[in-house]
Amino acid sequence: MKPLYRSADIRAIEHAAAAELPEGELMRRAGRAAAAAAQRLLSSAAPHPGPADTFPDRAPALQRLQVRVLVLAGPGNNGGDALEAAAHLADAGISVTVLHSRPGNAQSPERAAAWRRAADSSARFEELSAPAVQTGDWQLVIDGLFGIGLARPIGGALRALVEAVNQLPCPVLALDVPSGLDADTGAIVGPDGIALRASHTITFIGDKPGLHTNEGRDHAGIVEVAHLDIDPALLPTAELQLNRLELFARHLHARRHSGHKGTYGNVAVIGGATGMRGAPILSARAALHAGAGRVYVLFPEDPLPADSGQPELMCRLAEGYDFGQATLAIGPGLGDSATAADLLARAIASQGPLLVDADALNLLAHTPALQRALASRGATAEPTQHALQAARLLDASATAVLTPHPLEAARLLGLSVAAVQADRVAAARTLAARLQAVVVLKGSGTVIAAPGGDCVINPTGNPALATAGTGDVLSGLCAALLAQGCPPWPAALAAVWLHGAAADELAASGVGPIGMTAGELIPAIRAGINRLARLNLVR
Ligand SMILES: NC(=O)C1=CN([C@@H]2O[C@H](COP(=O)(O)OP(=O)(O)OC[C@H]3O[C@@H](n4cnc5c(N)ncnc54)[C@H](O)[C@@H]3O)[C@@H](O)[C@H]2O)[C@@H](O)CC1
Ligand SMILES: Nc1ncnc2c1ncn2[C@@H]1O[C@H](COP(=O)(O)OP(=O)(O)O)[C@@H](O)[C@H]1O
Ligand SMILES: [K+]
């Protein structure tokens, strides 16, 4: 399990843990963990921004006085963690400069003790200011300005200071949360706020959703969790977690020799109005390469005779096709005609697995009756055998998967895009509950929510995916998994994970992040599925 905790949970855990420990013990542990992480970063001389995908795992001896570390210590307990870390680093012979915010009368006793320890060390103290950041030649900056206690946007002189840190070429290690970022949502605390861009974040007690979605990935960098030896019994069951193989891999089966095309299901992609024919073709090609037995492309009008680049696809007019014969992926390039709306109504009324994407989501947003039909479809449909087996993971009644990007989600919710992005987890959960469907809210740190409240943030993927057509590939991939018998919840988790992992592989091999095309994802996804299926050979 890779749980993600909101700030309120972290505060409750911290409170319970602190009650069993000497005063200041958690802050001392946080400071020690931060100093150790800093020493590992200094030793590995990680470039900034670091493409490395893990924290370095050991710290060879540092040559004394060759490294200069800048520690930013804010007025609260995040500043206390930073002061503890500064004292440890100074004691290790490292040249440490602390830019220190005067805490006022409300300083906690543990922060006051941390300040005394740092003041007694060889660390030099200066007032927090942008020029103090700009004048030094730092090998590392440690950000202990604000953690989960940030109460308003960073402004004034602190804003200039954060801007100055964001210009530095060296690694930046954020303590708990990059200052200025909302740990719950990954939004920059605003209006007109700013957040520090860290190359690495060491986060305390438990991992936090805001580090993995929205602005989080750009600001947190590589995330390490320091549990501070908290008694696991104090950790509540997390309602939110990071996506990972264990949540879905067992549903990706190795093939039996006796299988035939009928064994692996039919996918029908419905879309491709005039001028948007490529969208369902991409989706259908992805479905084919993700293992669906037969793949159809159903056009609302003027069907293409065939896809000359992929003649395995069967191109038809949607009218006249029996929607009960396939897993449906409706929406790519569907348009907003009356025919399109009729096709969506027929798709929702059908009994099989259903994925709703793109233009079909916009039609749904405009048509409350279709929303009601979709919600009651989820509530009344007979769960499949697969779905029953997966009942622990899945609200088995949710047969539809919806894949909105933030604008589509905003239309469905009657909100602005900014309001959706301000709390992506809440937006996905609200839609999932309202429409009784698995909702995949796309974007950096895609959020997948089930109607019962389960929610997952996906860690794979990168900006190579920010190109037209990658969403169509995702819908075809997910439909193919549904067609092969995977229940909606693990199908959505697997599709989002595989799609992002394929983009990560392509970016690592130079096919991106700039200039990767949606079509290039498809063979990389196929390779990923086959790798995972091989892990399940015994099934
Ligand atoms: N209390 C504990 O036992 C532990 C706390 N920990 C640390 O404590 C942090 C939380 O500490 P706090 O609750 O003190 O919160 P913070 O240190 O995040 O910030 C609170 C302080 O910042 C001020 N402030 C908030 N927004 C501001 C703004 N925009 N401009 C200027 N000042 C602003 C507040 O008035 C307050 O003084 C965690 O993120 C973590 O780093 C860790 O040491 C683990 C243990
Ligand atoms: N910056 C990014 N980082 C990670 N994933 C991204 C990023 N930008 C886009 N994506 C992903 O790419 C896909 C884009 O889908 P969508 O917006 O529907 O595009 P289209 O309709 O053109 O296919 C989604 O899976 C989304 O999560
Ligand atoms: K911080």
pLDDT digits (tens, 9 = 90+) for 84-104: 999 999 999 999 999 998 877
Q: How far apart are CA 338 and CA 341, in angstroms?
A: 5
Q: Which residue segments constitute the domains of the chain, with CATH numbers given?
A: 7-238 (3.40.50.10260), 245-535 (3.40.1190.20)
Residue of higher predicted confidence among 385 and 9: 9
Q: How far apart are CA 135 and CA 55, in angstroms?
A: 28
Alpha carbon of 117 to ligand 1 centroid (Å): 19
Q: How far apart are CA 202 and CA 246, in angstroms?
A: 24
Residue whose pair of structure tokens reads 């947003």 in the numeric block: 365
- pTM, two decimals, is 0.93
Alpha carbon of 442 to ligand 2 centroid (Å): 6
Residue of higher predicted confidence among 65 and 237: 237
Write out pLDDT tens, residues 271-296. Answer: 999 999 999 999 999 999 999 999 99
Structure tokens at 265: 């299901």
Q: Considering only the C-alpha atoms of the chain, give the largest distance between any 2 of them, rounded to a whole number of Å.
A: 82
Tell me if 464 CB under 6 Å of ligand 1: no
Write out pLDDT tens, residues 29-39. Answer: 999 999 999 99
pLDDT higher than 70, residue 318? yes
* C-alpha of 338 from chain center: 36
Ligand 2 atom index nearest CA of 445: 4
Tell me if 78 CB under 6 Å of ligand 1: yes
CA-nearest residue, atom 16 of ligand 2 = 471
What one-letter code names the amino acid at 461?
G
Task: Select from 392, 394, 397, 426 the least CA-distant residue to 409.
Answer: 426
Burial 79-93 (b: 16+ CB within 10 A, else e): bbbbbbbbbbbbebe
Residue 431: which residues within 8 A CB-CB, separation 6 or more? 402, 404, 409, 412, 413, 437, 439, 441, 449
Write out pLDDT tens, residues 115-142. Answer: 999 999 999 999 999 999 998 899 999 9
Q: What is the mean pLDDT of residues 495-516?
A: 98
Tell me if 252 CB under 6 Å of ligand 1: no
Q: How far apart are CA 27 and CA 359, in angstroms?
A: 51
CA-nearest residue, atom 18 of ligand 2 = 471
The enclosing H or E element of 359 equals helix 358-366
How many residues belong to the chain?
539
Write out pLDDT tens, residues 397-449. Answer: 348 999 999 999 999 999 999 999 999 999 999 999 999 999 999 999 999 99
Tell me if 144 CB under 6 Å of ligand 1: no
Alpha carbon of 146 to ligand 3 centroid (Å): 5
Tell me if 65 CB under 6 Å of ligand 1: no
* pLDDT band of 396, cuts 50, 70, 90: very low
Q: What count of other Cβ atoms lies within 10 Å of the Cβ of residue 306?
A: 13
251 DSSP 8-state letter:
G
Alpha carbon of 179 to ligand 3 centroid (Å): 4
Tell me if 146 CB under 6 Å of ligand 1: yes
Task: Kindly report the average pLDDT of the chain as a whole number.
Answer: 92
Classify residue 65 by burial, with Cβ atoms within 10 Å: 0-12, 13-18, 19+: exposed
SS3 117: helix
CA distance readout (Å), 232 to 16, 175, 236, 244: 12, 22, 9, 21
What one-letter code names the amino acid at 504?
D
